[in-house]
Amino acid sequence: MLALSTVSLMAAEGTAPPSATELASRLSTLRQDGSSYVRVRLEIKGGSKEPLQLQIKERRTKNATEVVYQVLFPKERKGESVLLRKIGNRPASGTVFVPPNTVRELSAGDMKEPLFGSDLAYEDIVENFFAWEQQTIVASEEVDGVTCQVLESKPGKGDRSIYSSVKSWIDVRRMVPLRVEKFSGSGQSARRIDTTRVTAVDGRNLPANLLVRVPGRGTSTALDGSRLKRDVTFADREFTTDGLKELAVPKSSAE
């Protein structure tokens, strides 16, 4: 009833709910939002490892995604870094650096591997499933009291992914996915990502805290974001193997 009431209210206000294609297109554009920087606390719940403090550098455009994750703390893991890159429809690739001098190249076949042993895969970081060819609204459901449009995304012939489909529970008012569930080729749930906190940055709502689960793994991963900056100027070197060996904190264009 709540979902029907919401749709009726939107119609009464003269605003029709977006179609699946429109919704996916808006979300894809928001994801391809240029450059940003964020500090994140990553904790593997149910695991024995100490939480990690990370810095994340991102450059995302319609045609390319480059992301760097670097460990700032604890001291014994400081400097561990991952560079991930996705250019157009080419397979994703990347580089892992472990101090003092270990470098490992990542190919498309390595995208299933976990990020720093967490419940997130490399693929989850660079993939933009909102840009996939097939988009369908399959339901309207509540998440934490918010009525969401459930968008199902499936890769087309030119899309590469380790997943066969993805369902996203979208808070249409704030244009934020409150839940994302990813499915394997057999149709089984492979990974679920819940947004546990939304924050406003420069007038835009963004997922700030996430909880990631993999069925049957026995752990979950909490990511708590802070110090998020947008429109950050990065040097090209920061997205290279040599750049992975440096821990410089960038400044936003406003600073």
According to the model, what pLDDT value does residue 115 have?
97
Q: Minimal CA–CA distance to 251: which of 57, 66, 59?
A: 57
According to the model, what pLDDT value does residue 48 have?
72
Positions of the chain with pLDDT lower than 70, given as ranges: 1-15, 250-255
Q: Tell me the C-alpha distance between 232 and 224, whole Å.
A: 20
- Structure tokens, 97: 């650096």
According to the model, what pLDDT value does residue 10 have?
40
According to the model, what pLDDT value does residue 251 have?
60
> Domain coordinates of the chain in residue numbers?
18-244
Query: What's the burial of 36, exposed, middle or buried (CB within 10 Å: 0-12/13-18/19+)?
Result: buried
The alpha-carbon radius of gyration of the chain (Å, integer) is 18
- Structure tokens, 152: 């199902």
Q: Are 198 and 184 in contact (CB under 8 A)?
A: no
Q: Tell me the C-alpha distance between 35 and 195, whole Å.
A: 21
Q: What is the pLDDT of residues 56-94, one digit of tens each?
A: 999 999 999 999 999 999 999 999 999 999 998 889 999
Q: Tell me the C-alpha distance between 66 and 85, whole Å.
A: 5
According to the model, what pLDDT value does residue 1 have?
36
Q: Minimal CA–CA distance to 225: which of 78, 31, 69?
A: 69
Q: Give the CATH class of 18-244.
A: mainly beta
Q: Are 95 and 245 in contact (CB under 8 A)?
A: no
Q: Tell me the C-alpha distance between 206 and 228, whole Å.
A: 10
* CB proximity list for 4: less than 8 A, separation 6 or greater: none
